[in-house]
Each structure stands twice: as C-alpha cells, then as structure tokens.
Amino acid sequence: MVLTLKILVTLQKRRFVGYSAMQVALNEHLPRENKVVLLGTGLSLLGEEMMLDGYKLVDAIDYSEPCIKRMRNRQEKLEGLEKVGVNYQVMDVTQMEYKDESIPSVLDKATIDTMFNNEDNLKSVHSMLAETVRILEHDGLYVCLSYGDPDSRLEVLQDKRYDWKLITSSEIKKNKAVFYLYVLQKNNLKDASETAAVVDSWWWWKVHSKSV
C-alpha cells in the first residue's frame, strides 16, 4: 500500500480530534504567514495538515528523540509533501531553546493534559506555560486544545503570574467527546526573562511552605 498523508490523517481522525475540527478556529487566530510552534507533537500529523492548508513555518517539538526521528522519517516517505516540511526538533517544552519574544504563535494540542497527569503535575504545567509566555512575541498567541473544561483549566491558564489574557474559549465536539479550545494573547507588560524566575520562586515557596 502506498503511504500517503490522506491515509494517515484518516486513521488518526478515527481516534483523535483532527485538524479539520480545529481549522476554523486556528485560521481565525493564527495567521498562516506566522511561524507556529507545536508543543509536544508526539506522532500527530497536525503540522503536516497545517502546512498543506497554507501555513508557511511550523516547528513541531517533543522531548522524545525516537519520536522525532520517526516523524522525520515518515515525513520523507509521505506523498504530497514535496514542497512543504515540518521542522521537527527534539526539545523539552519546559526548557525551550527559543530566544525571548521570538515566536508569534504557539499551539498546544493536549500537551497541557499530559502535564497534568505527571507526578509533579502543577510544576510541569507552570514550567511549560512560563516558557510559552517567555518565547511569545508581543501580542503573540497561545492556542490550547484540552480535554479539561474551563473549571479545571482557566484557573491555571489565567494565573496572574502570566503576562497574557484570555481572548476566547469554545467547545469542539467529536462523536460523544467534548474538547475545549482556549486562546490567550500576550500582553507584554513584563520583561520576558522575569516570567520563569517568578514561577521558579513561587514553586520553591509552595514546596518549602509545606514543611513549615
């Protein structure tokens, strides 16, 4: 069987929310000419779908080197991607290698949910969000697709330590499942380098206050 993007996308859509379900919202908030960083890409074909829809620059990052290697190899074998290519990079979303205020758009497809399931869930989530705020340009956008409803996510996403504001939130339904899309825009009221330091000091206080 010839391996094509259409076949792989069809298989993924049977299990997950595909690009088509998010397309209207992403097109509204993420300009196609802007660079987009995908957090925790895993084995998702979201980056390829976005580029075929006209997005020019897509970085897909994940801490797993075998995962990134597999995605690079698979992309080379796919038909229909001769003129596009996702830039797959091995990178920890809690310690990203991008410069301060260098990225216009960040897309998180349920990576925040994975972080919430970690043993040190709050620290992981806040580290990722602090890094996201740090790398975003002034007025840059963080678009987050999550299983978590507003009651479980907005308290964290709208934490006062983060220099951004909620633009909109909406529901995305697939079969009987409901997902939530959150869009936040950076205010740029603080120096980008301060954000991670504030989160680190807050986390130190939270951990050590328990022993008092």
Tell me, yes or no, whether 210 lies in a domain.
no
In sequence order, the 6+-apart residues with CB closer than 8 A to the CB of 1 are 7
In this prediction, residue 16 carries a pLDDT of 56
Helix (H, G, I), strand (E, B) or coil at 201: helix
Tell me, yes or no, whether 135 lies in a domain.
yes
| pLDDT above 70 as % of the chain | 76
CA distance 82 to 77: 10
- The number of residues making up the chain comes to 212
Tell me, yes or no, whether 10 lies in a domain.
yes
pLDDT over 50 (residue 11): no
pLDDT over 60 (residue 157): yes
The pLDDT-based confidence of 133 (bands split at 50, 70, 90) is very high
Is residue 137 exposed (0-12), middle (13-18) or buried (19+ Cβ within 10 Å)? middle
What long-range pairs does 154-159 form, CB within 8 A, spacing at least 24? Answer: 154/182, 156/122, 156/125, 156/126, 156/129, 157/129, 157/182, 157/184, 159/126, 159/129
Residue 179, domain extent: 5-205
In this prediction, residue 201 carries a pLDDT of 45
Average pLDDT over residues 77-102: 85
Tell me, yes or no, whether 152 lies in a domain.
yes
| Rounded (5°) CA angle 44-45-47 | 105
Give the chain's domain count.
1
CA distance 35 to 180: 23
In this prediction, residue 75 carries a pLDDT of 83
Tell me, yes or no, whether 61 lies in a domain.
yes
In this prediction, residue 80 carries a pLDDT of 56
**What is the per-residue pLDDT across 31-71, written as a single tens digit (0 to 9) for each?**
999 999 999 999 988 998 898 899 999 999 999 999 999 99
pLDDT over 50 (residue 9): no
CATH number at residue 17: 3.40.50.150
In this prediction, residue 12 carries a pLDDT of 43
In sequence order, the 6+-apart residues with CB closer than 8 A to the CB of 175 are none
Tell me, yes or no, whether 212 lies in a domain.
no
| Residue 192 Ramachandran class (φ > 0 left, ψ -120 to 50 alpha, else beta) | alpha
Task: Find the farthest-apart pair of alpha carbons in the chain and give their distance in angstroms, rounded.
Answer: 63
Tell me, yes or no, whether 211 lies in a domain.
no
* CA distances to 68, 76, 115 from 181, in Å: 25, 31, 17
Tell me, yes or no, whether 173 lies in a domain.
yes
Structure tokens at 66: 């075998």
In sequence order, the 6+-apart residues with CB closer than 8 A to the CB of 135 are 37, 96, 98, 99, 100, 101, 102, 103, 106, 192
